[in-house]
Amino acid sequence: MGKALLEACEILRSKGDASYQILVYQPYTIGRELIKEHNYHPDVLYICGRSFVLNNRSERGLKYIQKAISMSTDPPAVYFLVEGDAYWEIAEKGKVQFGDTNDDAFLSNAKKAKEAYDKAYAIAEKTSLKQAIRERLDRVASAF
């Protein structure tokens, strides 16, 4: 249920519908309760992390996603996709705040986003997921 809600949030956000901001708390709440029951299962950490990233709290979401990746024996491509999204959002926030794409922090986070997207692309199986990753890779590449 948490993953389905995240998909709905992602669709609403991509359409510019601000109602995703209300809906995004539900998967996080579900994930937080599941953490208590399942003791930090990677999928539960992914749900929490992606919720934070969708809610523009990428620094916090990144911690959950990285823990999910490290705890998973075979992390799926979407884990790396969300990791890349988190790094890219952090890079973009820095660019807006400081107005400089040559800033070391921006370049470092943009590079980490690209690395995460490359990992996701390498293991993605669905064509639609590969296309989404390719679009993100193109966006990141334009920053260099």
pTM of the predicted model as reported, rounded to 2 decimal places: 0.81
pLDDT of residue 101: 57
Which pLDDT band holds residue 10 (cuts at 50, 70, 90)? Answer: confident
Contacts 24+ apart (CB under 8 A), 99-106: 101/143, 106/143
Domain 1-75 = CATH 1.25.40: yes
Task: Give 13-34 pLDDT, tens digit per residue.
Answer: 778 877 777 767 677 777 777 7
The yes-or-no verdict on residue 2 having pLDDT over 70 is no
Mean pLDDT of the residues in the chain: 85
The domain limits of the chain are 1-75, 77-144
* Interval 56-107: pLDDT, tens: 889 999 999 999 999 999 999 999 999 999 999 999 887 766 665 557 888 8
